[in-house]
Amino acid sequence: MVNLMALWKAHRLPPILHECWDAGVVLAGWSAGSLCWHAGGPTDSYRDQLDPFLDGLGLLPYSNGVHDDFPGQPRRRVYRTMVADGTLPAGYASEDGVGLHYVGTELHEAVTVRPDAAAWPEWARVRDRWRVPGRLVHDDAASIVAREYATLLSVGQLSPPASRLP
């Protein structure tokens, strides 16, 4: 992910991606690819441990913690610590198979291809954490996501057509 951002910058893509965003083009990325649209989030791109990544495009002013339920790393604890101590801005964590659908910069809903999977808002100094249950989707797009087993992040100013909603 760190290398991807370096390549995008070397090829002068960030202004083009910002232009697409401003025009309402839906942008998507899963796993570390979703961090690119956000201000940043925890990453293992530097080494085997999780470090803060603060060089996202910032189309979304939040941090993003992906694979929040990943058993091989302490992602949930590390992400919450980074937000609480101010290393990362407030943001959203998402479990595997959960996509965050933003309209503009507002979280519209969480969608999932896994029953009971969820996303979580993470704000510094908030005592009551609440679960954003994912709306289980069963359309063609969900089948593609399930096949890829991806965390899909769609960002943009356009909503999906109503005919595509289950």
Q: Determine which one of 34, 63, 67, 101 is catalytic.
A: 67
Pairing of strands 135-136, 106-112: parallel
Place of tokens 């909603």: 165
Catalytic site includes residue 31: yes
Quote the CA–CA distance of 158 and 31 in Å, as a whole number: 22
Would you call 58 exposed, middle or buried from its count of C-beta atoms within 10 A (0-12, 13-18, 19+)? middle
Phi first, then psi: give them for residue 106, nearest 5 degrees.
-100, 135
Clarify whether 67 is annotated catalytic.
yes
Residues carrying an active site annotation:
31, 67
